[in-house]
């Protein structure tokens, strides 16, 4: 303390007692006399020293208690994360739980989870969780191009790919004078003060990452926090792998092994669901039954390998002509395929486009290129069919009518 400060505040005497625990300074105890000058006795100095020692012990104990409580909270969050992430089989739920656990364990303002697409040079936001709630759902599903140059556009993300692929956890603070300009600009735009980017690794390969953000303070991530983040990432990577494996097995169970389109069983599952949806919405549900013209003769002439190639080629041509994520293409059996067009009002036009596309593809055989055509029957629920079985039967009958009338054409079931 300086004389000027004492005179400004009207203080006469200061007694300053260092608060130390071992060799660690914890603070300073200051006793102030404002009424008179005084000289502290040895007994008073000893008493002040004893009070200082007790205060230092109390501060140390309180800090230890807070640290242990914080550590227990983080360990509890890790245990819970381990249980949930190891048992969940849906990738979206794994990502949501990862974001939630990271916010809870590290007392962050929010966390985002990204999937990394190395070949495309992009990342996709898969989940977001804020300290006060689930986050901004409109951000989930957005894909960003990677860029570390300023200025950044709304569809760009400043990721250091080399550090991600090396599995390196990256700490970024807006107050850091050495922070690269692109990252600083993005942090300012997002109102972020401190970020911890944690890679998600699978078999030594980066498949994604999550970002832990503090926006209320210039938070300095300690070694314990980084260790907790790494442990969460390891658990999440196991969850990712399990969910992806489950999804692959699930797809195998509903996919036709030869053509790659959906199989007969899944077709009927979706058909039943779409019938119920149509009953609620009132929208039409067209069904196309498709048969490859002259397929038996093609097989007899060119062999079953060429026949398999023809099935694959035509299935791919049909799938390329329908609405991705809405329509369903399935192998009904043998050389028959089927297409569901939920809500479509132009089913006949769609069928005509499929006929035209198939005419344009060729199949390589031992004697050269060969071409095939298809006959298509169209039926619409509920216009021309009363129920699911009736819809299939009416579309099938229309398809056989197309074959009788010359093949390579579309026929429509009459209204009931």
If we measure between CA atoms, which residue out of 334, 333, 376 comes closest to residue 354? 376
Identified catalytic residue from 192, 335, 356, 369? 335
Locate the DSSP E strands across 44-163: 110-117, 122-130, 143-146, 156-157
Instruction: Note if 335 is an active site residue.
Output: yes
Distance CA 38, CA 128 (A): 62
Interstrand relation of 410-412 and 374-381 (parallel, antiparallel or unpaired): parallel
Which DSSP string corresponds to 320-358?
HHSPTTTSEEEEEETTEEEEE-TT-S-HHHHHHHHHHHH
Measure Cα distances from 319 to 53, 327, 333, 340, 351 in Å.
79, 9, 16, 11, 12
CA dihedral for 268, 273, 276, 277, sign (positive or negative): negative
Q: For residues 307 and 292, what is the distance between their CA atoms, to the nearest angstrom?
A: 11
Residue 118 contacts by C-beta under 8 Å, 6 or more apart in sequence? 161, 165, 206
3-state secondary structure of 55: helix
Residue 343 backbone phi and psi in degrees, to 5: 75, 0
Residues 6+ apart with CB under 8 A from 130: 103, 109, 110, 136
Q: Say if residue 181 is preceded by a cis peptide, omega within 30 of 0.
A: no
| Residues in CB range of 114: below 8 A, 6 or more apart | 123, 124, 125, 126, 157, 208, 209, 210, 211
Give me 233's structure tokens: 């990432």
User: Token pair of 289, please?
Assistant: 């039954």
Question: Which residue reads 């192998």 in tokens?
Answer: 331
Helix (H) or strand (E) holding 119: none
User: Residue 382: is the preceding peptide bond cis (ω within 30°)?
Assistant: yes
Kindly write down the DSSP assignment for every residue of 12-31, as one continuous string.
-EEEEEEEEETTEEEEEEEE
Catalytic residues: 335
């Amino acid at each position: 303390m300086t004389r000027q400060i004492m005179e400004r505040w009207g203080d006469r005497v200061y007694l300053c007692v260092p608060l130390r625990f071992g060799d660690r300074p914890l603070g300073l105890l200051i006793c102030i006399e404002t009424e008179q000058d005084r000289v502290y006795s040895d007994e008073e100095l000893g008493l002040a020293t004893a009070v200082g020692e007790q205060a230092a012990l109390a501060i140390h104990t309180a800090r230890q208690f807070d640290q242990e409580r914080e550590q227990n909270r983080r360990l509890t969050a890790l245990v819970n994360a381990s249980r949930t992430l190891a048992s969940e089989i849906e990738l979206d739920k794994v990502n949501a739980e990862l974001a939630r656990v990271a916010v809870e364990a590290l007392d962050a303002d929010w966390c985002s989870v990204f999937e990394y697409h190395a070949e495309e040079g992009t990342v996709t936001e898969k989940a977001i969780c804020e300290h006060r709630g689930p986050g901004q759902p409109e951000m989930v599903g957005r894909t960003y191009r990677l860029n570390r140059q300023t200025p950044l556009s709304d569809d760009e993300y400043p990721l250091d790919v080399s550090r991600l692929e090396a599995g390196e956890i990256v700490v970024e603070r807006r107050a850091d004078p050495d922070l690269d300009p692109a990252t600083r600009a993005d942090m300012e735009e997002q109102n972020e003060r401190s970020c911890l980017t944690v890679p998600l690794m699978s078999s030594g390969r980066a498949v994604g990452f999550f970002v832990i953000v503090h926006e209320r303070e210039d938070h300095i991530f300690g070694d314990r926090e980084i260790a907790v983040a790494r442990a969460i990432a390891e658990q999440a990577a196991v969850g990712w792998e399990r969910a992806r494996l489950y999804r692959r097995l699930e797809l195998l169970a509903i996919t036709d092994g030869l053509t790659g389109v959906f199989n007969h069983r899944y077709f009927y599952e979706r058909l039943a669901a779409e019938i119920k949806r149509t009953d609620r919405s009132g929208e039409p549900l067209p069904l196309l039954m498709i048969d490859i013209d002259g397929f038996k003769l093609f097989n007899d002439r060119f062999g079953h390998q060429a026949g398999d190639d023809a099935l694959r080629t035509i299935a791919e041509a049909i799938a390329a002509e329908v609405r991705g994520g809405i329509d369903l293409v399935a192998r009904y059996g043998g050389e028959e395929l089927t297409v569901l067009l939920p809500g479509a009002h132009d089913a006949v036009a769609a069928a005509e486009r499929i006929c035209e596309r198939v005419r344009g593809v060729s199949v390589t055989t031992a004697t050269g290129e060969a071409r095939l055509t298809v006959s298509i029957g169209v039926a619409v629920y509920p216009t021309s069919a009363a129920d699911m079985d009736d819809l299939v039967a009416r579309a099938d009958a229309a398809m056989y009518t197309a074959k009788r009338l010359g093949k390579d054409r579309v026929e429509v079931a009459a209204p009931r």
